[in-house]
Amino acid sequence: MKKFLPLTPALLAASIVQANTAIDLPDTVITASRIEQPREAALAANSVFTRTDIERLQARSVPELLSRVPGLQQNNNGGIPAYFLRGSNTAQTLVLVDGQRIASTTSGIARLDYLNIDNIERVEVIRGPRSSLYGADAIGGVIQIFTRQGEPGLNPSVRLGFGSNHTVERNLTLSGGDQQTRYMLGATLDESRGFDRTTDKQGNDRDRDGQRNKALMLRLDHSFNADWQAGLSLNDQRGKNEFDDAYELFPGFPEDQFRVSSYNGHLQGQLTEIWQSRLELGQSYDRNKTVGSGSPWNDGRIETTRHSASWLNHLQLSPEQRLSVGSDWHRDRLSSTNAYTKTRRENLAGFIQHSWTQQNFATELGVRHDDNQHFGNHSSWNAALAVPAGDRQQWILSYAEGFRAPTFNDLYAPPGWGGNPDLDPERSKSWELQWRAEVLDSQLEASLYRNDIKDLITWNSSTFQMDNINKARVNGFEAAISRDLFGWSSRTAISFIDPRDRATGKTLQLRARRHLSLDLDRSFGDLSFGSTWQLFSQRYTDPANSDTLAGYGTLDLRASWRASPALRWDLKLSNVLDRDYHLGTYSRPTGFWPAPSIDHPYREQGRSALLAVTWTPQL
């Protein structure tokens, strides 16, 4: 059990280290301040998963891994996942891969389900607004994914998995290098026949909804000397995702053909004894092409490309004080079979953040200013005060602002599709009280927060376009505890949220008010066993709160056997109790418009199994 670290100047002094080594250290975080620092020194609420966690939990997707984050919930509408961090909408959470934004500029949604977890080294989640550092889309928080990094020597690895629904997983990685240069190559091909997600058994919707995902990853890191480093990374996923078109009156076998990719290059150096600087250049690409829907106007292609550049500077003014100053630029471009009124825009921003740590307190104060080509200028602030309560407790009081930029769909969609060029960004103000402690050999974290969001962008049925017409308020409490219990390593996360539409007083739809997640793991020599138990309360399916989806619980079991130093077997049983549960609904028209519709729930995966073997020969 790690010891809770009190606030000391040494914490900040230790944080000025090379950022490209952070993913090897379990007790550090980068995303909270855009520089590596001990997790105990980060004043923002955060969750971190390392590669060791991913393999121990046998998580086979990013959404599955994130289901353990307190305050983060997920829904699934016919295979299209949605995630709500602290009650915010999916597009109100910023998602980064190696520092690059990957959300579509049309929908604002990052398809986390398309990212291949075999190519991921580390996942960090910052819970709560962080627009003072990252700008738009960080109302709920920030999810950052780091790709795998090479290790010295020559290290091949082969993984094969076979499971329910004719699932086949194949992964090959090769890492190597020396103390100066390291590389990692990875390739994956995952296929599954899937299962029928709809429940009405009408027409072609009775078929299975399969998936095929192939991924390629490349990472290269080089140290010129003790002060200068550079790196390149490439992460590319492409494939197809079959789905049931529940709203289509014409028969078809629709599928999305997708590609999600990101590229990043950086140069980092210690310019002076106190000044560290980092330059990043990157590109992200998102393409979705729908085919086979049965009607030509529902088939189409959307491609979005984002070019970006960042200049980050960190100055250690003294052992107690650090100043971070930086600038970000990005350009979004759109190509589509539909006629958008505009297809490009730019954003230029600058930020500054000061951190001060004394023996008896720590402070953080930051501001960022964004100048967007379309929606103009916007400033965001954050402030935090941390006070220790003895050697093993810490209280943190913070305030943070966030905003979400209107997407291309919101602003430039064709007439009748909702585009409104007069939209303002959504804005939020959040207050939070955190408590962190080590009590009776247990690590405890708890947060009590309130997030007020205004100028929500929603469909206005009277004007047939998107408008800033709603306000929302989210009150929440979340807690996590980690400890050893009778030889078992346990982590429990619990969250309570009260998300309300301020105009109607109704609960925001598809948010469960209560969520519990429990992981238990234990090793017996070369054998290890674990389980994950999750509980969710009911949720409303509509803004009027007239219909609900029942609460549910799932139990997953896992086992691992290290047959030899080079061979590991993994067995995972999901939804062991074969619970029938639903995360979304669809309306099936009974005829041509204006005929009424009947609501049906989407089906989720029942009991399933996956057996995998990983071979890592020693060369």
Residue spans per domain, the chain = 9-615
Question: 9-615 maps to which CATH number?
Answer: 2.40.170.20
Q: SS in 3 state form for 529-542?
A: EEEEEEEECCEECC
Predicted local distance difference test score (pLDDT) of residue 246: 62
Predicted local distance difference test score (pLDDT) of residue 461: 74
The more confident residue out of 579 and 597 is: 579
Pairing of strands 93-97, 141-147: parallel
The more confident residue out of 358 and 200 is: 358
Q: How confident is the model at residue 592 (pLDDT cuts 50, 70, 90)?
A: low
pLDDT at 581 over 90: no
pLDDT at 479 over 70: yes
Predicted local distance difference test score (pLDDT) of residue 122: 94
Percent of the chain clearing pLDDT 90 (strictly above): 64
Taking the C-alpha atoms of residue 161 and residue 158, their distance in angstroms, rounded to an integer, is 10
- Minimum mean pLDDT range among 1-15, 210-224, 346-360, 458-472: 1-15
Pairing of strands 552-564, 548-549: unpaired
Averaged pLDDT, 594-610: 79
Predicted local distance difference test score (pLDDT) of residue 597: 67
- Minimum mean pLDDT range among 78-82, 271-275, 427-431: 78-82
pLDDT at 569 over 90: yes
Percent of the chain clearing pLDDT 70 (strictly above): 91
Mean pLDDT of the chain: 88
| CB atoms inside a 10 Å sphere around CB 153 | 12
For residue 485, give the H/E element and its range: strand 465-485
Question: Is residue 528 classed as helix, strand or coil in its secondary structure?
Answer: strand
Averaged pLDDT, 471-487: 92
Q: 304-323, pLDDT tens digit by residue?
A: 999 999 999 999 999 999 99
Structural tokens at position 493: 């996360």
pLDDT at 3 over 90: no
Whether 95 contacts 108, CB under 8 Å: no
Q: What is the DSSP letter of 507?
A: B
pLDDT at 14 over 80: no
Structural tokens at position 164: 């329910």
Taking the C-alpha atoms of residue 302 and residue 310, their distance in angstroms, rounded to an integer, is 27
pLDDT at 249 over 70: no
Q: Sign of dihedral through CA atoms 297, 298, 301, 303?
A: positive
Structural tokens at position 73: 């919930």
pLDDT at 600 over 90: no
| CB atoms inside a 10 Å sphere around CB 326 | 20
Non-local CB neighbours of 47 within 8 Å, separated by 6+ positions? 68, 69, 70, 124, 125, 127, 480
For residue 134, give the H/E element and its range: helix 131-134
- Minimum mean pLDDT range among 221-225, 425-429, 602-606: 602-606
Predicted local distance difference test score (pLDDT) of residue 255: 83
Q: How confident is the model at residue 596 (pLDDT cuts 50, 70, 90)?
A: low
